[in-house]
Structure 1
Amino acid sequence: MPLSTRLKRGVIVSTGIAIVLGLSACSPLTILNAVTPASSYKKSADIAYGDDPRQRLDVYTPVSASSPAPVVVFFYGGSWNKGERADYAFVGSALASRGIVTVVADYRLYPQVRYPSFIEDSAAAVAWTNKQIVRYGGDAQHIFVMGHSSGAYNAAMVALDKRWLAQSGLSPTIVRGWIGLAGPYDFLPIENPDVKPVFHFPYSPPESQPIKYALAGSPPALLIAASEDKLVNPQRNTGGMATKLKAAGVSVKELYFSKPSHATLIASLVWPFQHLAPVLDEVDQFIKSDGGRTTTDNVK
């Protein structure tokens, strides 16, 4: 590659990183969508899984993948106060590039709702996926849930607490594994002023904490955090969840990376930020190994 081309790419990468680092953890990540190719997927947009306008999802079906393909239902972060599925097209594209059907779901937010309504929505999106995803090339027997930040909380509650899928006549046994990126799993008493009203502070219910449901028989987990995360304490949350799941005999892979921040951990799924951490490779391997139940010698 000519030096001039390498320099140009370096400038683009550096500029992109500076922009993303300047974003708050849950700001719209427009820059990531701008640098993400749309050639890896076919998008089915604005599908209702409930009656509320926020109960909508998009499906990203790989253009070149064996059918049925494994499935990820992804929930974004935003302190349960903000977020739009359109901002996370880069997640659908990244996973589709690895042959994974990806569902990116909106859910109701504060102040429209408080705990536990957003968990009910997340479970309803997973229930929709279980019943409908075969129409989009997905394998309903290989559904994984994944989230970043508060979205990882949603994923954890759906995967671990049987109350939510039970509302659709299902159980967490339909989930082959769950993936948490910088998730809050044990955060009482609440300190973040944006989160306090979401969880009925000062009467935040103890049963709202995912770590309470880290029990024997839970689905396998891939837990990833930024080791210097300043927003969600990685030792208490990722470390605490991993320790409790392992003690219950649950298969867990626990990873910490020093380069990304809380915000850029999710950005590392796509070029030009993949050098920050091999998050996409780890997610791909976890899914292709069926949550660690089998081995994968050649992960793309």
Structure 2
Amino acid sequence: MNKLILYSAAVLAAGAIAACSPLTVVNAVSPAGTVTATAAIPYGADPRNMLDVYRPAANADKAPVVVFFYGGNWVSGKRADYAFVGRALAARGFVVVVPDYRLYPQVRYPDFLVDGAGAVAWTAREIARHGGDPQRIFLMGHSAGAYNAAMLALDPRWLGRQGLQPAMLRGWIGLAGPYDFLPVQNRTTQPVFSAPDTPADSQPVRHVNASSPPALLIAANDDSLVNPARNTGGLAGKLRAANVPVSELYYDGVTHTTLVASLSSSLQKLAPTLDAVEAFIRAGGRAP
């Protein structure tokens, strides 16, 4: 197993799997185990408005729910590539929703947030049919997906379109998220956010208030893509100043990419990410 972990980490670090791109190797080394899945459930009208649900094989009944948004710089990604996240969290007893959402160039900011809110609304309406508790919904995301989760949890405009409010969430979890990135420097990201005319209120740090849901923010110290001090540390500071429960964790030995890979049941030795996420959820949004 140690050789498998080292090999998989080496493949990731070598760039065979680019940051937030399809994690084929990780899925390959992450067995389904005692998890069942229901695939390709529509939550909206667009072909990208589809989601998969993962749940414990033993019949779940009012289990905590995690809606996971993947990354990919808002230009790439597909839910099937993150089956390992659904499997790992479902194996811990949670019901997991992994939605696709529209990407650039089909859409720009804020349309992918509209999609994310639609996926959350579907979850609130339908997840009880899959053994989940609609009163215990957590949002979670990695990289661009962590941004999506943050905006849905902090900016009431998006869930408000669905007749919901961030207060309906038990908490949210961000892995290596960009929460404060103006002016937009990344050339791939610039057209997604219509730079240089990116609206200031596109940034999660602008929407923190005392009623924001509890947060668990995790980052890799060795992250060359999203600055952990400015983004994770900066947002955590604002949440703390507003008296919002927040825990921030920084791990050595992982990168922007391998941080999300450490959620895999076969790669947990890379970092204790999965344990921290489970502790946060089981504590109802309290610090692990």
Question: Aligning the two structures, in what range does the TM-score lie when normalised by the shorter sequence?
Answer: over 0.9
- Contact 1:32/1:90 (<8 A) preserved: yes
Q: Distance in 1 between matches of 2:30 and 2:266?
A: 9
1:144 partnered with 2:138: yes
- Contact 1:36/1:90 (<8 A) preserved: yes
Question: Which of 190, 199, 202 is matched with 2:196 structurally?
Answer: 202
- Contact 1:160/1:219 (<8 A) preserved: yes
Question: Which of 6, 11, 30 is matched with 1:14 structurally?
Answer: 6
Deviation for aligned residue 1:14: 2.2
Aligned length: 286
1:247 partnered with 2:223: no
Q: Secondary structure at the match of 1:113?
A: coil
Q: Distance in 2 between matches of 1:88 and 1:284?
A: 18
- Deviations, residues 158-191 of structure 1 (Å, cap 9, x unaligned): 0111000111111111111000000000000000
Structure-to-structure mapping, 1:131-280, within 5 angstroms:
131-280=125-274
Deviation for aligned residue 1:258: 1.0
- Contact 2:174/2:216 (<8 A) preserved: yes
Q: Secondary structure at the match of 1:230?
A: coil
- Contact 2:5/2:269 (<8 A) preserved: no
Q: Secondary structure at the match of 2:256?
A: coil
Q: Distance in 2 between matches of 1:206 and 1:29?
A: 32
Question: Which position in structure 2 is the counterpart of 1:125?
Answer: 119
Q: Secondary structure at the match of 2:5?
A: helix
Q: Distance in 2 between matches of 1:98 and 1:285?
A: 10
Deviation for aligned residue 1:65: 5.8
The unaligned stretches of length 5 or more in structure 2 are none
Question: Which position in structure 2 is the counterpart of 1:110?
Answer: 104
Question: Which position in structure 1 is the counterpart of 2:77?
Answer: 83
TM-score scaled by length of structure 1: 0.93
- Contact 1:71/1:143 (<8 A) preserved: yes
The unaligned stretches of length 5 or more in structure 1 are 1-8, 296-300
Q: Secondary structure at the match of 1:188?
A: coil
- Deviations, residues 130-170 of structure 1 (Å, cap 9, x unaligned): 01000000000000000000000000000111000111111
| Further displaced range: 24-33 or 281-290 | 24-33
- Paired AA for residue 112 in structure 1: Q
- Paired AA for residue 146 in structure 1: M
Q: Secondary structure at the match of 1:218?
A: coil
Question: Which position in structure 1 is the counterpart of 2:285?
Answer: 291
- Paired AA for residue 87 in structure 1: D
- Contact 1:65/1:99 (<8 A) preserved: no
Question: Which position in structure 2 is the counterpart of 1:26?
Answer: 20
Question: Which position in structure 2 is the counterpart of 1:95?
Answer: 89
- Contact 2:216/2:248 (<8 A) preserved: yes
- Contact 1:16/1:272 (<8 A) preserved: no
- Contact 2:30/2:266 (<8 A) preserved: no
Q: Distance in 1 between matches of 2:59 and 2:69?
A: 23
Q: Secondary structure at the match of 2:243?
A: coil
**Cα distance 1:79–1:108, how it changes in 2: closer, same or farther (>3 A)?**
same
Q: Secondary structure at the match of 1:263?
A: helix
Q: Percent identity?
A: 59
Q: Secondary structure at the match of 1:43?
A: strand
- Deviations, residues 239-270 of structure 1 (Å, cap 9, x unaligned): 00000000000000100001110000000012
- Contact 1:77/1:83 (<8 A) preserved: yes
Q: Distance in 1 between matches of 2:154 and 2:23?
A: 29
**Cα distance 1:66–1:143, how it changes in 2: closer, same or farther (>3 A)?**
same
- Deviations, residues 91-147 of structure 1 (Å, cap 9, x unaligned): 000000100000001000000000000011001100110010000000000000000
Q: Distance in 1 between matches of 2:134 and 2:4?
A: 39
Q: Secondary structure at the match of 1:266?
A: helix
